[in-house]
Amino acid sequence: MVEYFLERFSKQYKLQIRPPSTEIFGLLRQHPWPGNIRELENLMRNYVIMGSEQAIRSELLNGREEAGSGDFSPNGTACLKTLTREVVIDFERRVISKALEAHLWNRKQTARALKISYRSLLYKISQTGISRKRTAPTEWRERAASDD
């Protein structure tokens, strides 16, 4: 199932991703899977979009590793709602940025790929602080540099 979802989302988001490490496969085997197949599907989608095993590791360890930015001290005080909002905004920023790059900053295609409305995407771009200014994808910059 992992291979199926990796292939499916790699094609959908037009991203090349390497298979998870043996450590991640070990965590996948040990996980109780309360969300069943949908949980695995979402986990693999996040892995492909984020391109990082940390997304999987944090989810599978279920809070045993700190998923946030590390700004919280257990001896201090913090508003859980504020911390949660900051982590969600940071996560959305990374996911949307990767999706925009994968779709060459075509916002309509990106919205479709993320299964949200175009208007929601524009709102989230604004909310997360993603620059609306298009930056050329890496391969465009490399091609331009080699043409000089």
Q: Is pTM, for the whole model, over 0.75?
A: no
Give the pair of three-digit tokens for residue 10: 């790699």
Q: Which residues of the chain have pLDDT under 70?
A: 62-79, 83, 132-148
The residue extents of the domains of the chain are 1-65, 80-135
Same fold, 1-65 and 80-135: no
Q: Is the domain 1-65 a CATH 3.30.365.10 member?
A: no
Give the pLDDT of residue 141. Answer: 54
Structure confidence by residue, pLDDT tens digits, 96-111:
888 898 889 999 999 9
Give the pLDDT of residue 64. Answer: 43
Number of neighbours of residue 79 by Cβ within 10 angstroms? 8
Write the class of the CATH domain 80-135: mainly alpha
